[in-house]
Amino acid sequence: MNKARRLYSAIALLAGVAFLSVAACAGVAPAAREAGTTYELVILHTNDHHGTILPVNGAAGLAERATFVGEVRSGNANVLLLDAGDINTGTALSNLFRAEIDIKAYNLMGYDAVTLGNHEFDHDGETLERQRSLSTFPWISANIRKAGGKPFAPAYIVKDYKGFRVGVFGLTTRRTALIASPDKELVFLDEIETARSTVAKLRGRERCDIVIALVHMGLSSESEGHVTSRDLAREVAGIDLVIDGHSHSFLAEPLAEGGAPIVSAGEWGKYVGLGTMGIRDGKKVSFAWRPVKINDENDMTYAPDPSVAALIAPYKEKADATLKEVVANAGERFEFGDRLSRKREIALGNMVNDAAVWYVRTVLKKKADFAFTNGGNIRAELPAGPVTRERIATVLPFDNWIYLTTMRGADVIRLFRYIASIPQGAGGWAQVSGEVRYEIDYTGADGKGVLKNLAIGGAAVDPGALYTFATNDYLMAGGDGYAVLADNVSSWNTSTTLRDIVIAYAAERKTLVPATDGRIAVTGGLALE
């Protein structure tokens, strides 16, 4: 039997709950069932947590999630709690402690399994091994192999309930090898073929009545050859339910795709998926599902669970102290004035975007031809003198995730034509990294900006070439009118905030000196002092 019988330190959370989630050993028959009797399995699931330990604008929070989970357990005998991956990489609090808080909270809640997401491979192998050893739940994935073919993680779990047996298997997108930093010895196998063979094992050798795919694959294709959970549901028979992660997709109801419904609960724990499955004579006979909101600023239904809140408190106290930490020194003031980041090139905009390119190239070790962000993302000056984490958080207060996106040159030209068309003073007016040079000419009769002399990396943009750049999630979602960004070849969320990137850049540089270099030339337009 696996660890489902262990006594969690959160015994207060689980007290009085008839939690019959005992894992089966291969070949052992499930608990006797009565013919014609319908049994019920409650499935709770999350995905793309990304270090969201505390509520964000009133929504989510691990302690608040724990209260909801506890309420569901108290009213149901058969509860299965799952996560479809990417616990790692997100908020500064989680990043500081390498997801230790998150994993301990998952232990307290009694998660049954978590699929390895691509962001579990953002750190070195030792970090992931520490995280796995800290976990009282298994991290699963059927399609990751070590050199020589040995499994990297358990492929699945099997759990017995009165009257039925459930198998849950994991899959991790093969794109992990490209968008994260897994050990070079790891091999990511074809998701569809792996799923077929794993389902056959669960249905055959393990004698499972219900098979659930807990996958970190995404609902939408990020590039050619990207296998999604939609593909899985269409192409693999014998799956009763697909629980998806990776694309941060919020669904109001299950997707009907192939033979199995697909569900996904958005991101950051703002919702928990709640499914109820009816099982009769070893077969699924019904399934109902809905996303449950874990609070918002106008509806605080779930109070923090005391056990999880007590776990978080000392970590938060220590993290708060780090906000006062001096990470660098600013030789002079980085001006902001009357929101100058929305009107012309400023040193602060240069530094922020140069930091993004540095992070992608140096830390992620990926290609980055340039970076840009909306000027409205920058909210304050950076004074001369000591630069603290708190100061940078004041300059960049938004939790903007950085995306790494590839577009064809023709679409990059369209992007910069749109940038030039944005009126000075609007939040979408762009700041860019040093690889970019262009002019915005406002001298036309209509006063609208016209793009001139665009160059990237010292050369005119080649319409047929591919360019990879860093920008933020707000713009990628079409914010400030950036609809052109939807016309990309591939894109992925690094799940690192621009703020944390700038903090890391400042700490590496030690000294920050404001400078402009003519990367954005403005002709005509507003008269600026």
CA neighbor of 374 nearest in space, from 311, 335, 425, 413: 425
Q: Is the dihedral of CA 98, 390, 387, 374 positive or negative?
A: positive
Q: Do 300 and 362 have their domain in common?
A: no
Q: Do 117 and 232 have their domain in common?
A: yes
Dihedral of the CA atoms 521, 468, 341, 445 (nearest 10)?
40
Between CA 348 and CA 350 the distance in angstroms is 5
Residue pointed to by tokens 């296998």: 227
Q: What per-residue confidence (pLDDT) applies to 102?
A: 98
Establish if 395 belongs to a structural domain: yes
**Domain termination residue (choose one: 292, 318, 344):** 318
Q: What's the predicted TM-score (pTM) here? A: 0.76
Integer CA distances (angstroms), 169 to 112, 191, 505, in order: 12, 12, 39
Q: How many domains does the chain have?
A: 2
**Domain termination residue (choose one: 301, 318, 335):** 318
Helix (H, G, I), strand (E, B) or coil at 140: strand
CB 302 within 8 A of CB 294: yes
Q: Do 335 and 261 have their domain in common?
A: no
Q: Do 450 and 342 have their domain in common?
A: yes
Q: Is the dihedral of CA 477, 483, 486, 492 positive or negative?
A: negative
Q: What angle do CA 423, 521, 334 make, to 5 degrees?
A: 85
**Domain termination residue (choose one: 277, 301, 318):** 318
306: left (phi over 0), alpha (psi -120 to 50) or beta: alpha
Establish if 105 belongs to a structural domain: yes
- pLDDT tens for each residue of 397-410: 788 899 999 999 99
Which CATH number characterizes residue 195's domain?
A: 3.60.21.10
Establish if 351 belongs to a structural domain: yes
Establish if 83 belongs to a structural domain: yes
Integer CA distances (angstroms), 482 to 229, 248, 373, 467, 498, in order: 28, 20, 11, 17, 18
Q: Do 308 and 331 have their domain in common?
A: no
Integer CA distances (angstroms), 192 to 169, 170, 227, 430, in order: 13, 12, 8, 42
Establish if 33 belongs to a structural domain: no
164-172 and 210-216 strand pairing: parallel
Establish if 79 belongs to a structural domain: yes
Under-50 pLDDT residues of the chain: 1-28
Q: Do 314 and 334 have their domain in common?
A: no
Q: Do 207 and 313 have their domain in common?
A: yes
Contacts of 317 (CB under 8 A, 6+ apart): none
Residue 352 identity: V
Residue pointed to by tokens 């690889």: 435
Q: Is the dihedral of CA 192, 194, 197, 199 positive or negative?
A: negative
Q: Do 348 and 460 have their domain in common?
A: yes
> What Rg, from alpha-carbon coordinates, does the chain have?
25
Q: Do 277 and 358 have their domain in common?
A: no
Q: What per-residue confidence (pLDDT) applies to 380?
A: 87
CA neighbor of 28 nearest in space, from 138, 137, 156, 165: 165
Establish if 27 belongs to a structural domain: no
DSSP state of 29: P
Which CATH number characterizes residue 385's domain?
A: 3.90.780.10
Establish if 22 belongs to a structural domain: no
Domain residues for 500? 327-523
374: left (phi over 0), alpha (psi -120 to 50) or beta: beta
CB 202 within 8 A of CB 255: no
Q: Do 261 and 347 have their domain in common?
A: no
Q: Do 289 and 350 have their domain in common?
A: no
Q: Do 405 and 301 have their domain in common?
A: no
Q: What per-residue confidence (pLDDT) applies to 30?
A: 60
